[in-house]
Structure 1
Amino acid sequence: MNKKKWFTTALSFVIATVLLAGCGDNKDAQGNDPQASAGKAVKLKLWGAVPVEAGPQAVVDAWNEANPDIEVEYIRYVNDDAGNLKLDTALMTGQDADLYINYTLTRLQKRVDAGVALDLASTGYDIDAQMGPDAAQWKINDKYYGLPTKKNMAFIWLNKKMLDEAGLPVPALDWTWSDLKEYAAKLKKDNVYGLLQHEASFTATIDGTIAGLGVTKADGTSNFDNDLWKQQFTMLHDMMFVDKSTPEYGEQLTSKMPVDTMFLKGEAAMLSAGEFIFRNANNLTEFPHDFQIAFATIPQVTADQKDYKYSGGLGDVLSVNAKSKNQEAAWKFAQWYADGGMLPMASGGRIPSSKSVDNKQAMDLLLKGVEDKYDVDSMNKVVFGQFESFQLSVPQQVLDARKEEYEKYFLNKQDIDATLASMAKRHNDLIKN
């Protein structure tokens, strides 16, 4: 047996041993560790992507003080491919992750398929009534495998001071990518980008477009080669390589640009990102800035575009690991968290979705001490506005294939027509399989 084959066999044996050990743990019929009945505190591990100091530690401290019989430890993972792989590995063993927060429907779908997300039907908790109609976007096979705990939206953050200096008004709600491209060109200066995009928001426009058009055409084939995607990708490519109003994709990728920090330091006039940036924008000690922040919607591709939807709705879906030894205790924490326990997260932009939470209390926490740092009118219209939203429901491998192809275009390794054709072909191959 060659070394490579021996290593693969040995690794498979180790993984199988760990999984069997996890499955063989002693627990009662309710899925709870009998050690808890011996007077020992049940210990739970909660995984999430928010830095511990931005709210999660305050949440678990409050819980642990009020519930000495159930001790929760927060583990932070980075919400990227490597971080999600780390979480998925912990979930499969059933040893190191009792609760976890999902940030995309595709990741949750993968975990449901792997059998590590508990079906919440038997809990008796009415998610539709408690969270509202947008919660249904997170159903998988008409079932809930997690609690959508927060109101969610991506938008454009704008440096109001730079807008005023350039004589530009806060954009209208129905602005387009042509408008954004023009704004970025007028706002760029030496050492100041017109636009930066957070990786999580890079595909917000094409996702909102396909949510309206349909992922597939009437004949069942891929719609990834649609003309609206071509127009938006082309404009963004021009902004990188012609206008130079936004970073070249390769540069942003390799340097791992801290785009939120750069925006708050005045190194960009606009930032495409979500409400999670509030945790830094409100931290004036580490991120001091002397400008007001205004807000605009993620622009659609064209003014006459039909059925465009906005990346938003509800998010931060808290799931219980179906392999956890302490499912009952984990569910008790999950319900508490969703129905008000998560309030310390509001100062970082995470507004609870549960009707049990006083919205005014959450808004007050969000703006406490920084009321003068935001343009109130645009904040009310965009951040607290009501828009038709979506959760893109396609398998993760489809998104991975799409990303591999559009990266080639933005790295100048293939042209736009080849990119769209390849995305559609790979999507069609996955549909067939």
Structure 2
Amino acid sequence: MLKKKWTIFIAASMLITMLAGCGGNSGESNQTSSLDSSGKTTTQSDKPVVLKFWGGVPAEYGPQLTVDAFNKEFKDKGIQAEYIRFVNDDTGNMKLDTTLLAGGDIDVFMTYTSSNLVKRGTGGMALEISDKLSKAGFDPAKELGNSVSPYIYDGKVYGLPTKMENYYILANKNMFDEAGIPLPESWTYDEFRETAKKLTKGEGQNKVYGMYWNTIMEIFRPSYIAQTVLGSDFLYKSGGKETNLDNPEFIKLNQMISDMMWVDKSAVTHTDNVTQKLSVESVFLAGKSAMSLGVWTIRSIKDLEKYPHDFVTAYLPVPVSDKSAAKYSIGEGAAGDFICVNPNSENIDKAMEFVMWYTKGGMLSMTPYGRVPMYQGIDSNKIVDEYMKNGEKILDKNTVVKFLEKKDNLAVSTETKKLPEIQKVFNDALESIYTGKKDAASALSEAKISADKFLK
């Protein structure tokens, strides 16, 4: 009897083992078998691939909505995405680089500057995707416009720029209306300067400035305005063997900015900007300036709980030195938000599906927060509607439409030889101009001599 029971126990154990071998285990195998159309057995995972998508924008400002939209659309395709935020500063970018180099769990990630794009591409942190784009029938220049060209390095694409941002000036429309000044459709430096004077009023803590240049953020950004006349590669003379820092356009523009700060007193000084750690939010949105650089602050403009205000913001074109000579739209900084693939991802093909989906319109969920798609295949009215969401009462739609227009005369710079070194010299010169220590002609002439040494 005991022998019979033992035999039954062994048989049962063998049967359990066989069944376990045919089925899945409790966590390591998630596969099921089925027959394809030809009658062959195929195996597929019943668990979706989850792509880890790293970006520098807070999740609540569009990325989570974007990921949710992707997950809904790709639910039955075996792909999902998860958003992971890194802070887009030096520390946050170092964390991203370290994770990529260490083989961390990243599939797709955003890069926000061209210098980081090159570093990550040449450093093995961003996959070169030109062949994959070609196989997908996606021509970046055709699909995204000519402003993509500076970010294709010797035919290599390390990341696609996905958003565009025309260079415009923020304006408090209420202040313009109260002063009886119509919103300009074009204007010269002299007209702009006079307008800033008229909009300046009050004294001390109650003073309202005509203009806030936001030089604390990127001191060189106001100089982009010179590109309207100088065009592409505006920091270099023809041939790239000399810098162009002493060009009369740079001199005239930056002397005007300095004079607005120190002579007219119609613009916040660079000194106050730095010492008081000012920002578009603490100046323009607080009603302390009638105009400001900073169209990228649209998230803050719409955040009435954090930055309460009831005035309407309009978008104005930049002033130019000479309307007849201003033949270009500013291309510097127009393209951005480079979407990249980790070359060490275990899901490269699926990551590319996400990249293409995001680039071709998936990112529209981020447009209300200022991420305007570069992709040419999206209806312009749809982009305007998305951008205006939650801002219908505080944004001037007529000027927003003009701001969102895709330009066909963008000045796109391609010369980058010794650019970091040249930029440092340029920034130092601007510092001396904006603090009133030197006039623009002297500072920029000296800067050219110093910067040219890097090109010898």
Q: Tell me if both proteins adopt one fold, taking TM over 0.5 as the criterion.
A: yes
Is the alpha carbon distance of 1:406 and 1:83 closer, same or farther for their aligned partners in structure 2, counting shifts above 3 Å? farther
Q: Distance in 2 between matches of 1:228 and 1:184?
A: 20
Q: Distance in 2 between matches of 1:344 and 1:316?
A: 15
Give the equivalent residue in structure 2 for 1:29.
none
Is 2:212 aligned against 1:196? yes
CA contact (8 A) 1:45 1:75 kept: no
Secondary structure of the residue aligned to 2:387 is: helix
CA contact (8 A) 2:171 2:313 kept: yes
CA contact (8 A) 1:398 1:427 kept: yes
Q: Distance in 2 between matches of 1:49 and 1:423?
A: 34
1:81, CA displacement in angstroms?
A: 5.0
CA contact (8 A) 2:328 2:411 kept: no
Match of 1:101 among 102, 106, 110: 110
Is the alpha carbon distance of 1:273 and 1:54 closer, same or farther for their aligned partners in structure 2, counting shifts above 3 Å? same
1:351, CA displacement in angstroms?
A: 2.3
TM value normalised by structure 1: 0.79
Code of the residue aligned with 1:408 in structure 2: it is S
Is 2:61 aligned against 1:54? yes
Give the equivalent residue in structure 2 for 1:21.
none
Is the alpha carbon distance of 1:262 and 1:305 closer, same or farther for their aligned partners in structure 2, counting shifts above 3 Å? same
The within-5 A match list for 1:116-265 is 116-123=125-132, 124-125=135-136, 126=138, 127-173=140-186, 175-190=187-202, 191-198=207-214, 199=217, 201-212=221-232, 214-218=234-238, 220-265=241-286
Q: Distance in 1 between matches of 2:192 and 2:65?
A: 39
Code of the residue aligned with 2:121 in structure 1: it is V
Give the equivalent residue in structure 2 for 1:280.
300
Is the alpha carbon distance of 1:81 and 1:255 closer, same or farther for their aligned partners in structure 2, counting shifts above 3 Å? farther
Give the equivalent residue in structure 2 for 1:114.
123
1:289, CA displacement in angstroms?
A: 2.6
The within-5 A match list for 1:310-329 is 310-311=330-331, 313-324=334-345, 326-329=347-350
Structure 1 residue runs without a partner (length 5+): 1-33
Is 2:300 aligned against 1:293? no
1:370, CA displacement in angstroms?
A: 3.1
Number of aligned residues: 396
Mean CA deviation greater in 46-55 or 231-240: 46-55
Is 2:430 aligned against 1:406? yes
Q: Deviations over 1:365-416 (max 9, x none)?
A: 2223433433333333333363522344423343233223322332345543
Match of 2:359 among 332, 335, 338: 338
1:210, CA displacement in angstroms?
A: 4.4
CA contact (8 A) 1:161 1:291 kept: yes
Secondary structure of the residue aligned to 1:202 is: helix
Higher helix fraction (1 or 2): 1
CA contact (8 A) 2:329 2:407 kept: no
CA contact (8 A) 2:59 2:83 kept: no
1:96, CA displacement in angstroms?
A: 6.1
Match of 2:84 among 67, 74, 79: 74
CA contact (8 A) 1:351 1:363 kept: no
1:345, CA displacement in angstroms?
A: 0.3
1:213, CA displacement in angstroms?
A: 7.0
Q: Distance in 1 between matches of 2:190 and 2:98?
A: 43
RMSD (Å), alpha carbons? 3.2
Secondary structure of the residue aligned to 2:208 is: coil
CA contact (8 A) 2:109 2:341 kept: yes
Give the equivalent residue in structure 1 for 2:38.
none
Secondary structure of the residue aligned to 2:284 is: helix
1:40, CA displacement in angstroms?
A: 7.2
Is the alpha carbon distance of 1:45 and 1:183 closer, same or farther for their aligned partners in structure 2, counting shifts above 3 Å? farther
Structure 2 residue runs without a partner (length 5+): 1-28, 32-43
Is the alpha carbon distance of 1:267 and 1:206 closer, same or farther for their aligned partners in structure 2, counting shifts above 3 Å? same
Code of the residue aligned with 1:166 in structure 2: it is A
1:182, CA displacement in angstroms?
A: 1.6
Secondary structure of the residue aligned to 2:210 is: coil
Q: Distance in 1 between matches of 2:162 and 2:446?
A: 37
Q: Distance in 2 between matches of 1:81 and 1:206?
A: 29
Code of the residue aligned with 1:280 in structure 2: it is S
